[in-house]
Amino acid sequence: MFAAVRSVLIRDLTLAMRRRADVLATLIFFVIVVSLFPFGVGPDAELLRVLGPGVIWVAALLAAMLSLGRLFAGDYSDGVLEQLLLTPQPLAALALAKVLAHWLLSGLPLVLIAPVLGLQYGLSGEALRILVITLLLGTPVLSLLGAVGAALTLGLRGGGVLLSLLVLPLYVPVLIFGAGAVDAGLSGMGVDGHYSLLAAFLLGALILAPWATAAALRISVE
């Protein structure tokens, strides 16, 4: 089983490396959305410092959304997905491998570039540290939950808009505690509770989401 998981993971990463533009597009989208907000609300440094964590988190949600459409679409159109469904290995494990590859390609780069964007918003070192930790805990949840929606909307017309309609409401808890942690940390309320809850979301999604994704794939492909 682990061999199958590993080969799916390596395959997805290799495919992405052959088409780097797709990976970069998500990252650049994230940077652009974050950079647009100062034009919208004005360059007031104090205001931007307050808005920063929330803006970066919402942009991360949208960027994750943008890349989710491609999670199963390629495999669906060239028939690989049907082969995956036919393998004796549990589909949930294979789905988890694909989600992991998705996170490595679209979640992790966001986490790594977020401190730079945070500096643009004048966040302090402590705030940046909290932001990176919450993104590290939260973005895998975005990939895991999003995979369920991506599997459900596979091959449907208007799939992209539909996907955001299905998945974004489910992202609300992650957004609340991800963006809220920075505020809580700076006001001295302690962020351990936020970390714990985000980690709890991650563990819960890690256990439940692959099964739901596998079930959704079976519904969509049959």
Partner 1 sequence: MAINWFKYSSPASFYPLAGRMIPWAMAVGVLTGVAGLYVGFFVAPTDYQQGESYRIMFIHVPAAWMSMFTYIVMAVWAVAGLIWNTRLSSMMATALAPTGAMFTFIALWTGALWGKPTWGTYWVWDARLTSELILLFLYIGFIALQASIDDPRRAARAGGLLALVGLVNVPIIYWSVKWWNTLHQGASISFAKAPTMAAEMLLALLLVTLAFWAYTIAVAMMRVRCEILESERQSNWIYETVEGLR
Which residues contribute to the site for partner 1 (CB under 8 A)? 148, 152-153, 156-158, 162, 165-166, 168-170, 172-173, 176-177, 180, 183-184, 201, 208, 212, 215-216, 219-220, 222
Question: Taking the complex as a whole, how short is the minimal distance between the CB of residue 152 and partner 1, in angstroms?
Answer: 5
Q: CB-wise, 108 or 162, nearer to partner 1?
A: 162
Q: CB-wise, 23 or 179, nearer to partner 1?
A: 179
- The b/e string for 141-167 (b: 16+ C-beta within 10 A; e otherwise) is bbbbbbbbbbbbbbeeeebeeebbebb
Question: Taking the complex as a whole, how short is the minimal distance between the CB of residue 166 and partner 1, in angstroms?
Answer: 4
CA atoms within 13 A on the CB side of 73: 14
Residues ≥6 apart with Cβ < 8 Å to 22: 16, 67, 70
Q: CB-wise, 140 or 180, nearer to partner 1?
A: 180
Question: Taking the complex as a whole, how short is the minimal distance between the CB of residue 183 and partner 1, in angstroms?
Answer: 8
Nearest Cα to Cα of residue 30 among 153, 156, 141, 120: 120
Q: CB-wise, 105 or 148, nearer to partner 1?
A: 148
Do 152 and 107 meet the contact criterion of CB atoms below 8 Å apart?
no
